[in-house]
């Protein structure tokens, strides 16, 4: 049972990290106009991806541009991406 809670906590931590990074990036006003800007934007998207793509998926489902199955497949993929980010963040925080 403890393992299930750890997995759920890691998913939540990954999705929270994704949202925070996406918000900070959008508030900073940075633009990917130069080569180094594109590299930074790509690195940020690795962390902010689940939040950004989830927002696009919800908008697509709300406006009936996506099928329900497509939305669920995206959510499943984003859950595993958030798990990977969350495990990385927890590894850094706990120092194990």
- Where do the structural domains in the chain lie, given as residue ranges? 2-94
Q: What is the pLDDT of residue 73?
A: 93
Q: What is the pLDDT of residue 6?
A: 92
Enumerate residue ranges in the chain where pLDDT < 70.
96
The CA R_g of the chain, rounded to the nearest whole Å, is 15
Q: What is the pTM of this model?
A: 0.82
Q: What is the pLDDT of residue 13?
A: 95
């Amino acid at each position: 049972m403890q393992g299930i809670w750890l997995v759920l906590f890691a998913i939540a931590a990954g999705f929270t990290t994704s949202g925070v990074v996406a918000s900070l990036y959008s508030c900073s006003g940075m633009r990917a106009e130069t080569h180094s800007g594109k590299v930074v934007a790509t690195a940020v998207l690795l962390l902010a991806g689940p939040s950004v793509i989830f927002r696009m998926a919800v908008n697509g489902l709300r406006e009936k541009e996506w099928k329900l199955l497509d939305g669920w497949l995206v959510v499943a993929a984003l859950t595993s991406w958030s798990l990977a980010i969350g495990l990385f963040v927890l590894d850094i925080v706990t120092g194990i």
